[in-house]
């Protein structure tokens, strides 16, 4: 059964040129306190970067609550942002004592319960975009579509997407329920999406690909004993000099060059680096420069 969404139009799906990742803001990273999170949110909004990327599991199920505590105090901020969150991974945590082992779960019950938990934690009445964090090998697309349809009808979730799905898994779901976005790992360190068809699929369907760990989780910027990475960093420095830019800006410009319109999910907790990212929109690498970085990253000339 195809789940028609009368109110749905891909053209109306909006996303900023960069998303703000929250994975490292709390317990899994910089451990910001409430006033630091508040300033961080204000700074991002002032830059017109209003899409915040969460997942229920971040900070072992605590980061949504840390962020939500700020929204409780400052509901005006909620009105100025869009919230993406994810569900479907169950990690072992003292905050979820019922989880015996790590597993994936995309049953209707788990999806619906996760959304209820996220709404409570984030102090909001709706999620702008819900992503299925990882494919559950046991997933039934009809069951997922029923969960999505119910959440949409209840006004709890506006848009739906996936993360880390294969081409065929996306097809299974997209055929019965329209998706808006696919979040995958893409960077000069992880280039699979350029070759495995995921970006082609996004272009074909007109859905937005978002890139997690666009800087390779920081690996591409820190000194490395890996020869390929060190060689790549030399080329990045060359281009940074040419464009009077920082290396992270070159890495983000490299992702943006792809016609699928990749939106990077920034992982920094520093506003100065968010500002740099925004400024990287001015950089338009040439075709040859794009390949120069690709070849440096792979360590081989293309065929």
Ligand X SMILES: NC(=O)c1ccc[n+]([C@@H]2O[C@H](COP(=O)([O-])OP(=O)(O)OC[C@H]3O[C@@H](n4cnc5c(N)ncnc54)[C@H](OP(=O)(O)O)[C@@H]3O)[C@@H](O)[C@H]2O)c1
Report, as residue numbers or ranges, the catalytic residues. 58
CB of 3 to ligand X, least distance (A): 24
222 touches ligand X by CB under 6 A: yes
**From 40-48, 147-155, 168-176, 217-225, span contacting ligand X (CB under 6 A):** 217-225
d(CA 294, CA 303): 12
Residues 249, 277 contacting (CB under 8 angstroms): yes
Query: 263: exposed, middle or buried (C-beta count within 10 Å: 0-12, 13-18, 19+)?
Result: buried
**Smallest distance from the beta carbon of 100 to ligand X, in angstroms?**
22
| Residue 280 lies near ligand X (rule: CB under 6 A) | no
Provide CB contacts within 8 A for 170, sequence distance 6+. Answer: 162, 179, 182, 198, 201
**Helix crossing, 247-256 with 271-279: angle to 10°?**
50
248 binds ligand X (CB under 6 A): yes
59 contributes a contact to ligand X by CB under 6 A? no
**Binding to ligand X in span 180-209, by CB under 6 A:** 183
- Please tell me whether residue 245 adopts helix, strand or coil conformation: coil
Query: According to CB under 6 A, which one of 13, 22, 114, 245 is a site residue for ligand X?
Result: 22
Query: What's the chain's length in residues?
Result: 303
Q: Is 213 in the site for ligand X (CB under 6 A)?
A: yes
Tell me: does residue 135 bind ligand X (CB under 6 A).
no
Closer to ligand X by CB, 20 or 292: give it.
Answer: 20
Token duo for residue 234: 């030399």
CB closer to ligand X out of 12 and 226: 226
Which stretch, 113-121, 151-159, 171-179, 269-277, contacts ligand X (CB under 6 A)? Answer: 269-277
23 vs 83 by CB, closer to ligand X? 23
Give the binding range for ligand X (CB under 6 A) out of 7-15, 67-75, 190-198, 212-220. 212-220
- What is the closest distance, in whole angstroms, from the C-beta atom of residue 270 to ligand X in the complex? 5
Nearest to 28 by CA among 120, 104, 93, 99: 93
The helix/strand/coil state of 193 is: helix
Provide, rounded to whole angstroms, the least separation between the CB of residue 19 and ligand X. 7
21 part of the interface to ligand X, by CB under 6 A: yes
Which range binds ligand X by CB under 6 A, 9-17, 75-83, 174-182, 213-221? 213-221
Q: What is the dihedral of CA 221, 217, 189, 215, to 10 degrees?
A: -60
Instruction: Give least dist CB 119 to ligand X, A.
Output: 18
Q: Which is nearer to ligand X, 178 or 209 (CB)?
A: 209
DSSP letters spanning 64-121: HHHHHHHHHH-HHHHTT-EEEEEE-EE--BTTBTT--S-EE---HHHHHHHHHHHHHH
Binding residues for ligand X (CB under 6 A): 21-24, 53, 133, 163-164, 183, 212-218, 221-222, 248, 265-270, 273
């Amino acid at each position: 059964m195809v789940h028609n969404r009368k109110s749905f139009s891909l053209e109306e799906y909006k996303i900023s040129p960069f998303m703000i990742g929250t994975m490292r803001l709390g317990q899994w990273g910089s451990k910001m306190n409430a006033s630091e999170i508040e300033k961080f949110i204000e700074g991002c909004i002032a830059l017109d970067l209003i899409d915040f990327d969460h997942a229920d599991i971040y900070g072992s199920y605590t980061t949504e609550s840390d962020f939500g505590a700020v929204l409780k105090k400052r509901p005006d901020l909620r009105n100025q942002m869009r919230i993406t969150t994810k569900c479907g991974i169950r990690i072992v945590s003292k905050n979820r004592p019922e989880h015996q082992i790590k597993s994936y779960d995309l049953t209707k019950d788990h999806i619906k319960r996760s959304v209820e938990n996220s709404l409570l934690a984030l102090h909001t009445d709706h999620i702008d975009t819900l992503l299925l964090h990882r494919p559950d090998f046991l997933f039934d697309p009809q069951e997922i579509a029923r969960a999505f349809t119910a959440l949409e009808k209840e006004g709890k979730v506006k848009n739906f997407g996936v993360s880390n799905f294969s081409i065929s898994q996306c097809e299974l779901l997209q055929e019965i329920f329209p998706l808006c976005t696919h979040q995958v790992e893409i960077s000069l360190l992880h280039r699979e999406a350029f070759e495995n068809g995921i970006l082609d699929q996004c272009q074909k369907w007109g859905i937005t690909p978002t890139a997690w760990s666009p800087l390779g989780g920081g690996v591409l910027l820190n000194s490395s004993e890996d020869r390929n990475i060190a060689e790549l960093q030399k080329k990045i420095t060359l281009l940074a000099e040419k464009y009077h830019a920082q290396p992270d800006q070159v890495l983000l410009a490299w992702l943006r060059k792809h016609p699928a319109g990749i939106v990077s999910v920034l992982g920094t907790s520093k506003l100065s680096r968010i500002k740099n990212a925004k400024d990287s929109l001015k950089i338009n690498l040439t075709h040859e420069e794009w390949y120069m970085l690709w070849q440096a990253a792979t360590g081989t000339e293309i065929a």
